[in-house]
Amino acid sequence: MSTEKQILVLGGTVFLSRTIAEHAVARGHQVTVASRGATGAPPEGAEFVTLDRATGDGLDALRGRAFDAVFDVARIPAHIGPVLDALADDAGHWSFVSTISVYKHFDILSEELHEPTAADSTDAALEAYGPSKVVCEQLVRERLGDKAFITRPGLIVGPGDRNDRLGYWPLRFAEGGEVLAPGPRERPVQWIDVDDYADFLLDAADTGEHGTVDAIGAPVEFGAFLDQVGEALVEHGVLSAPPELTWVSQEFLLEQGVNPWSGPDSLGMWVPTPDYDGFQTRPTGPAAAAGFRASDLADTVKRWWHANAEAPHLKAGLSRQKEGEVLAAWHDKPTAEGLAELDAERRFAVPQAETPAYDG
């Protein structure tokens, strides 16, 4: 158990930032949450300070205060500089949550980054997300030096994910019947559990980790991922047996209007190959060297189910009507054609990438 620290979480009311604040309170730290307060309430036991980074409101309430560790998840470059000016000099450690979307290429494993946007950019468009995070990283490094720890997560899953990317699968399995699965089974998928991530960041603040690492668990095949989700629900007493899966080729899914990743008419955590092959096989060694430890998927699923068990319903994803239509169309395809598509997809294999040295 670490000694009591003064912790500041910029955000602290939604998903990852809220989980960081909750875990910090549970560890006995004095936690301050600073946000607009428009997206939720801070966790019990945390001090709340109103902060609107777009206008600067609230910075005076924080200015001059010393924090042992600061955690920031900002995505707008213009929101970084004023907070650094107000807080960086009196911060013992600064943890900035970036993203693997800073990498320019998703189809291959590459370290090349997007060209950064301007440091004063206020562009919130999705297309600017990666380039904006690149310049946010630069601003934090330049100001904090070896007090800065920058992590680049991939897909973050767990309780509080409003997009139901992981949650689609346990809820769909619990409804029973034939389940549409995105072929091929060998497609890689990576994620990081939100609770594991919060603990990793708090531990890194304790040990003074610095540098830049991808924050992601080891890739697994999609078939193994779905098998483990089903097994976890059986162990948890939600299912009596694993679900019946029907694997459908990605070409057919796209033709039928099924969307990747998240959102309406999507299959959670599914992205096409080869477009995202590099995105789903990021190296895990540097984060492990910095202290990251991943939960078993079964534990992640059980925590997610427990958090949602009182009112289990899908907030996003493929509707049962749409799924039924796609399955019916798939079963109506000529058998030889369907098998040929799956055989073509199975030529894809998870690349074994060399893990770069940890720079923390």
Q: What is the pLDDT of residues 335-345, one digit of tens each?
A: 545 555 555 55
Are residues 258 and 324 located together in one domain of the fold? yes
Are residues 183 and 142 located together in one domain of the fold? no
Are residues 47 and 108 located together in one domain of the fold? yes
Residue 308 has pLDDT above 90, yes or no: no
In the chain, the N- to C-terminal Cα span, in Å, equals 23
Using 50, 70 and 90 to split pLDDT, how confident is the model at 7? very high
Using 50, 70 and 90 to split pLDDT, how confident is the model at 350? very low
291 belongs to a structural domain = no
Model confidence over 84-95: pLDDT tens digits?
Answer: 999 999 999 999
Least confident of 5-19, 79-93, 249-263, 326-340: 326-340
More confident residue, 350 or 131: 131
Are residues 148 and 177 located together in one domain of the fold? no
Residue 316 has pLDDT above 80, yes or no: no
Model confidence over 78-135: pLDDT tens digits?
Answer: 999 999 999 999 999 999 999 999 999 999 999 999 999 999 999 999 999 999 999 9
Are residues 182 and 329 located together in one domain of the fold? yes
Residue numbers of the domain that contains 20: 6-153
159 belongs to a structural domain = no
The count of structural domains within the chain is: 2
Residue 237 has pLDDT above 50, yes or no: yes
Q: What is the mean pLDDT of residues 230-251?
A: 95
More confident residue, 245 or 339: 245
Please say whether the dihedral angle defined by the alpha carbons of residues 80, 45, 25 and 218, taken in this order, is positive or negative.
negative
Are residues 115 and 177 located together in one domain of the fold? no
18 belongs to a structural domain = yes
pLDDT value at residue 333: 83
d(CA 16, CA 9): 10
pLDDT value at residue 263: 84
Residue 160 has pLDDT above 70, yes or no: yes
CATH number of the domain encompassing residue 11? 3.40.50.720
Q: What is the mean pLDDT of residues 185-197?
A: 96
Give the tokens for residue 96: 């900035």
pLDDT value at residue 57: 82
Length reported for the chain: 360
pLDDT value at residue 38: 80
Q: In whole numbers, what is the pLDDT of the chain averaged over residues?
A: 90
254 belongs to a structural domain = yes
317 belongs to a structural domain = yes
172 belongs to a structural domain = yes
Are residues 255 and 144 located together in one domain of the fold? no
Using 50, 70 and 90 to split pLDDT, how confident is the model at 280? very high
286 belongs to a structural domain = no
pLDDT value at residue 58: 82
Are residues 176 and 109 located together in one domain of the fold? no
Are residues 109 and 83 located together in one domain of the fold? yes
Using 50, 70 and 90 to split pLDDT, how confident is the model at 310? confident
Q: What is the mean pLDDT of residues 265-274?
A: 92
Give buried/exposed letters for 311-327 (b at 16+ CB in 10 A, else e): eeeeebbbeeebbeebb
Are residues 263 and 134 located together in one domain of the fold? no
Q: Which of 153, 127, 156, 168 is nearest to 262 (CA)?
A: 168
Which residues contact residue 27 at a Cβ distance below 8 angstroms, ignoring those fewer than 6 apart? 1, 2, 202
Are residues 244 and 117 located together in one domain of the fold? no
Are residues 142 and 261 located together in one domain of the fold? no
Angle at 341 between CA 337 and CA 347, to 5 degrees: 145
